[in-house]
A and B are shown apart, each in its own frame.
Chain A
Amino acid sequence: MRGRLLNFRRISVYVALLPMAITACAVYLGTTLWSLRVSFSSSRTFPTDNFVGFAQYARLFTDDRWLLSLTNLAIYGTLVIVVCLALGFWLAALIDAQARGEGVLRSVFLYPYAMSFVATGVVWQWLLNPSLGIQEAAHRLGFEQVQFDWIVDPDKVIYAVAIAAIWQSCGLVTVIMLAGLRGIDPEIWKAARVDGIPAWRVYVSIVRPMLAHSFATATILLLTAVVKLYDVVVAMTQGGPGTASEVPAKYIMDHLFGRANIALASAGSIVLLLTVGILLAPALYLRRYATRLAAR
């Protein structure tokens, strides 16, 4: 039936698919290859064809600022993903067990996700302000020992950024987990009650593994957002104090537009792309595996 369609109809299908083809091939694939090419050149403000092999990559990995950026991203990423998954699942399980007020609680946990990273950064910059924020409020209440000046402490500033991001994206995990919990067979609860297994045990040992697909989905979304980390840092700390909260995306942006070193910036962006690929592949594989298990 399909093979006997009139030709001009086929043509209109291909015309309709043209924007997608251009976006996929020219933009996503084309620009990536372009950046890869530039990363092997000695380009400064404009791209040149003077190729220098892996020199930019070598330079990148001897640059303290880049290494610090990567370390910060690793700390931030691990914290955000682990805490969001744990807290998000925990809150979802509690909401699920409580069975009342789900709509209201979900709205409250998810509203920060509707706010921009810039707004998030600005709010937390204010909350963590060492002389007027939470620390000062605690001191005034008589808790003189409270020290919560992470945002001006070079060793702790990245944790302050992580707190802001966790507040912003934790609700996303809760919502995904709640959606996953809807698909759990209620018979499990009857069986567990008959066997006298406590509810928390059921959530941790039985329900959690059944939500492998939701966990993988949440991890993929969090990972994608983690690597993009830029707006929160710019709004909250501008990479400071000093360079203590520099991150790769900001390093790349600074070298593209501030320092006119597009080859070094492109090398950084390719490293970032490879990192995404290496980290995402297992999560995507796990999710496909979980989907197949669920379909069985």
Chain B
Amino acid sequence: MSSRRAARIGLTVFLASVAFCFLLPLYVMLVTSFKSLDEIRLGNIFALPDTLSLDAWRAAWSTVCTGVSCEGIRGGFVNSVQIAIPSTALAIAFGALNGYALVFWRARGANVLFALLMIGAFVPLQVMIYPLVRATAMLHIFGTLPGIVLVHVIFSMPLMTLLFRNYYTALPVEIFNAARVDGAGFLRTFAHVVLPLSPPIIVVAAIMQVTGVWNDYLLGLVFAGRDHLPMTVQLNNLVNTTTGTRQYNVDMAATLLTALVPLVLYFASGRWFVRGIATGALKG
């Protein structure tokens, strides 16, 4: 019995040390962001900061140069918020409507469309990017907020549709049939019967979509245009196009600021985040 106990303690210690390794980058980011450049040059990346200096955080937020302008990454934050909110709302609306139509109405050919959409999810973005640049340019929305939102909605449609379709498949079909017997039409059944049952999956979809849009780099770089560059693009500009001395403390503060929204969302909603991955991935 005691050897089993020893094995159990060994296991706990081992798992704790692996967890420690996974947390190390976050720890290094935090301590670096509070250090002064002189202290960083001492070369001990793991040491705690001598004094807690918020200078790097202030610089990262409001004065550091990200490409041409030197106003910090707060502009990127605003842009990312402006992109994420409509992209999430629209993606959820389309996902819910698609899932509802697929599961309860079984329109002819709809499943073929769905299959095509699912295959499309595996097509590398690089195949589609240039034609989409031309298409959005033709619609005069290339490099604008509506342009980048449209592109996000398009590329999130497979996952969003899958999430809602799987969720609605598990709902009892009797509710829906009852509404139809009462004479409710397509939209009324959706608004009064299906939507009120949807909040759990809407939360999951919102978490997945906000995280996905916030963390996107490629689409923002190509489609957002100079006035709406998201935070990730500005972070990359800040870190990799600086002239003069590299300010590692500012880099790390800016990285943490950029990662803040998805990390807070993740830690605040842990179980839902995991559920999103599970429903998106396992039942596909």
Point out residues on A near B: beta carbons under 8 Å. 2, 9-10, 12-14, 16-17, 19-21, 23-25, 27-32, 34-35, 38, 47, 91, 94-95, 97-98, 100-101, 103-112, 114-119, 122-127, 129, 131-134, 136-137, 140, 167, 171-172, 175-176, 179, 213-214, 217-218, 221, 224, 227-228, 230-231, 234-235, 238, 248-249, 252-253, 256-257, 262, 265-266, 268-270, 272-273, 276-277, 280
Contact = CB atoms under 8 A, between A and B. Distances in A.
B251 to A, nearest CB: 6
Given A132-B41, A136-B45, A257-B222, A118 B236 contact: yes
A288 B278 CA distance: 17
A272 B186 contact: no
A123 B25 contact: yes
Interface stretch (B62-70, B141-149, B191-199, B211-219): B211-219
Given A12-B185, A116-B232, A94 B266 contact: no
Interface string B130-159: 111011000000000000000000100100
Contacts of A16: 97-98, 100-101, 186
Nearest to A250: B126
Given A9-B185, A221-B281, A127 B45 contact: yes
Contacts of B185: 9, 12
27 contacts: A19-B97, A20-B157, A21-B113, A24-B116, A24-B117, A25-B113, A31-B131, A32-B127, A98-B11, A107-B270, A109-B22, A111-B22, A114-B211, A116-B215, A118-B215, A118-B258, A119-B258, A119-B259, A126-B28, A136-B43, A167-B25, A175-B277, A179-B278, A228-B125, A235-B239, A256-B126, A276-B124
A256 B266 CA distance: 35
Interface stretch (B49-57, B81-89, B102-110): B102-110
Contacts of B267: 107, 111
Interface of B: 8, 11-12, 14-15, 18-19, 22-23, 25-26, 28-29, 32, 40-41, 43-46, 94, 97-98, 100-101, 105-107, 110, 113-114, 116-117, 119-132, 134-135, 154, 157, 161, 185-187, 211, 214-218, 222, 232-233, 235-236, 239-240, 248, 251-252, 255, 258-259, 262-263, 265-267, 270, 273-274, 277-278, 281-282, 284
Contacts of A137: 43-46
Most buried by B among A132, A218, A230: A132
Contacts of B46: 137
A115 B263 contact: yes
B237 to A, nearest CB: 10
A126 B120 contact: no
B278 A116 contact: no
A250 to B, nearest CB: 9
Given A95-B15, A167-B22, A272 B236 contact: no
Contact of A270 (B28, B127, B282): B127
Contact of B45 (A108, A134, A179, A231): A134
Given A114-B266, A132-B45, A272-B126, A27 B120 contact: yes
A265 B130 contact: yes
B104 to A, nearest CB: 9
Contact of A266 (B125, B130, B211, B216): B130
B43 A253 contact: no
A273 B218 CA distance: 17
B251 A126 contact: yes
Nearest to B128: A31
A287 to B, nearest CB: 8
Contacts of A14: 107
A179 to B, nearest CB: 5
Contacts of B251: 122, 126
Contacts of A179: 278, 282
A110 B265 CA distance: 13
Given A31-B132, A132-B41, A119 B12 contact: no
Contact of A94 (B11, B25, B130, B255): B11
Nearest to B20: A108
Nearest to B40: A132
A70 to B, nearest CB: 14
A117 B215 contact: yes
A179 B240 CA distance: 39
Contact of B282 (A98, A124, A176, A276): A176
B116 A272 contact: no
A127 B25 contact: yes
Contacts of A269: 124, 126-127
A280 B15 contact: no
Contacts of A25: 113, 116
B40 A115 contact: no
Contacts of A13: 101, 105, 107, 186
Nearest to A10: B107
A228 B122 CA distance: 10
B98 A20 contact: yes
A97 B11 contact: yes
Nearest to A139: B43
Nearest to B14: A94
B43 A132 contact: yes
Most buried by B among A27, A175, A231, A262: A27
